[in-house]
């Protein structure tokens, strides 16, 4: 009889990716610890790529899901009116949007982040009557064709197999600090020989995650908002990975005091890792006619239940404040053990999304392997996957956070010592 690992190697598609870095079969997970079939435990600094902000099997959220399952409530019902959807919408409007002074309608586009992006781009194009979308270099917005057109990773784009059209990429502000990218975009619009048409929207992540953990500054975000308003261009914020309190604010753009025209959420909006996505639209942008963006699983009832419970937990547990406190621990340890010790490396991040720039794929992979060997799971990001990505649960106990950071720093020490031989 084949082992479980052999089953994956024999029968699962070669497209699988994350599992290649962690050659074990995982069986249980609780909080910030996952366990494999051999009984080995690992601290989780991967966090479901941002889908598990409140930890694995969060008791409060899981309890609400179980409670709903036991009532024989509707499980799948397309976009029909249901009690779980009504309760989520009401809670979101009354407890998330109105206290922040935001006036958005909520669209449920389907269960994935890339579907939220597709819906947002479709809305923008129809609302403005233009086809172009501008995005930043270093962006990741999803793996379907429209989202890939505004994503920049060469490998991701090449896999499409068809031309990716409709996107234009602007240098991100960190790429050329001396270069005024806002002025550059204005020049593209004003110069009648630029060869570039006015877009329907500019889409960005306020913290580029897969791009290498680059935090866009408050000044830049304010300037982008002003630029878009001035030129009648919609501003779309992809808050799929950096949102749901990951930055220390529920919305990652709150720190800049800006209000996007469209906001995309997925990942941890599903509460406990259940698939769910939503798009927030200013009311005047609610232009799609019935059925113009469709999907069988946009009515994920368990996702609605878990999402509402996740929002309740986030507010009741004061998660935003907790993230800011835990970030102090991350900053202190990474400064003392990485920045001060290895000036050739760079630490970047905000809230509980941090990265260590190792500059080479080979070196970052060695750090990842060393961490796994010592009981920690994390992933990589950035150009050539050279950035070691630290993304724990937002409610990770401080002792586990410190232990996990110690494993990361020890791994960097080991690898850097080997590099110097």
Domains and their CATH numbers in the chain:
76-316 (3.40.640.10)
Would you state the structure tokens that stand for residue 232, as one six-digit string? Answer: 């009648």
pLDDT band at 354 (very low <50, low <70, confident <90, very high): very high
Report the C-alpha gap between 398 and 245 in whole angstroms.
Answer: 17
- The pLDDT value given to residue 251: 98
293: tokens are 């963006």
Q: For residue 365, count other CB atoms closer than 10 A to its CB.
A: 17
> Rounded distance, CA 29 to CA 115, Å?
28
Residue 322 reports pLDDT greater than 80: yes
Q: How far apart are CA 378 and CA 393, in angstroms?
A: 12
Give the span between the Cα atoms of 261 and 158, in whole angstroms: 30
Query: Are residues 279 and 116 in contact, defined by beta-carbon separation less than 8 angstroms?
Result: yes
Q: Please tell me the least confidently modeled range out of 7-11, 62-66, 83-87, 233-237.
A: 7-11
Q: Mean pLDDT across the stretch 31-45?
A: 97
pLDDT level of residue 421 (50, 70, 90 thresholds): confident
Give the mean model confidence (pLDDT) for residues 169-188.
97
Model confidence at 286, pLDDT cuts 50, 70, 90, reads very high
Task: Please state, in angstroms and rounded to a whole number, the distance separating the CA atoms of residues 329 and 332.
Answer: 5
| Contact of 416 with 75, CB cutoff 8 Å | no
Asked if residue 244 lies in contact with residue 273, where contact means CB atoms within 8 angstroms, the answer is no
Residue-averaged pLDDT of the chain: 96
192-223 pLDDT, tens per residue? 999 999 999 999 999 999 999 999 999 999 99
**In the prediction, which pLDDT does 21 show?**
85
Residue 2 scores a pLDDT above 80: no
Identify the pLDDT of residue 392.
98
pTM above 0.85, yes or no: yes
Count CB neighbours of 251 within 10 A.
25
Task: Judge whether residue 1 has pLDDT over 70.
Answer: no
List of long-range contacts for 172-181, beta carbons under 8 Å, 24+ apart: 172/136, 172/137, 172/138, 172/139, 172/208, 172/211, 172/214, 172/216, 173/216, 173/217, 173/220, 174/214, 175/137, 175/138
Residue 5's pLDDT is 79
Residues ≥6 apart with Cβ < 8 Å to 233: 128, 134, 198, 199, 200, 201, 202, 227
Q: Is the pLDDT of residue 9 over 90?
A: no
For every residue of 33-83, DSSP letters joined together read EEEETTS-EEEESSHHHHT-TT-BT-HHHHHHHHHHHTTT---B-TT---H
């Amino acid at each position: 009889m084949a082992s479980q690992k052999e089953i994956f190697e024999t029968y699962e598609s070669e497209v699988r990716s994350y599992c290649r870095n962690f050659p074990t079969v995982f069986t249980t997970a609780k909080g910030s610890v996952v366990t494999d079939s051999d009984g080995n435990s690992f601290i989780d600094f991967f966090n479901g790529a941002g889908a598990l902000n409140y930890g694995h099997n969060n008791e409060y959220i899981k309890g609400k899901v179980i409670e709903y399952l036991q009532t024989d409530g509707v499980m799948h019902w397309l976009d029909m009116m249901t009690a779980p959807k009504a309760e989520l919408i009401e809670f979101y409007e009354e407890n998330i949007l109105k206290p922040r002074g935001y006036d958005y309608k909520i669209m449920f586009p389907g269960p994935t982040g890339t579907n939220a992006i597709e819906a947002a781009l479709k809305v923008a194009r129809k609302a403005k009557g233009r086809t172009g979308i501008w995005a930043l270099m270093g962006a990741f917005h999803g793996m379907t064709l429209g989202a890939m057109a505004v994503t920049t990773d060469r490998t991701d784009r090449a896999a499409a197999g068809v031309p990716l059209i409709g996107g234009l990429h602007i240098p991100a502000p960190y790429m050329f600090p001396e270069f005024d990218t806002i002025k550059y975009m204005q020049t593209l619009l004003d110069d009648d020989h630029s060869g570039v048409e006015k877009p329907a929207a500019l889409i960005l992540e306020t913290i580029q995650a897969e791009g290498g953990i680059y935090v866009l500054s408050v000044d830049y975000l304010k300037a982008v908002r002003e630029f878009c308003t001035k030129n009648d261009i919609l501003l779309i914020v992809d808050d799929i990975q950096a949102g749901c309190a990951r930055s220390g604010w529920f919305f990652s753009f709150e720190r800049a005091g800006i209000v996007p025209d469209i906001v995309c959420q997925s990942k941890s909006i599903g509460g406990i890792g259940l698939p769910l996505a939503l798009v927030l639209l200013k009311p005047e942008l609610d232009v799609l006619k019935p059925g113009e963006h469709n999907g069988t699983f946009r009515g994920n009832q368990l996702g609605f239940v878990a999402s509402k419970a996740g929002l309740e937990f986030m507010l009741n547990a004061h998660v935003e404040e907790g993230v800011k406190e835990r970030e102090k621990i991350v900053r202190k340890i990474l400064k003392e053990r990485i920045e001060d010790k290895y000036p050739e490396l760079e630490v970047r991040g905000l809230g509980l999304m941090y990265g260590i720039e190792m500059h080479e794929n080979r070196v970052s992979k060695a750090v990842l392997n060393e961490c796994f060997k010592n009981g920690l799971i994390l992933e990589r990001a950035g150009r050539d996957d050279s950035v070691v990505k630290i993304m724990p649960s937002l409610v990770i106990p401080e002792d586990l956070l410190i232990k996990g950071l110690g494993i990361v720093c020890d791994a960097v020490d080991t690898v850097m010592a080997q590099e110097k031989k």
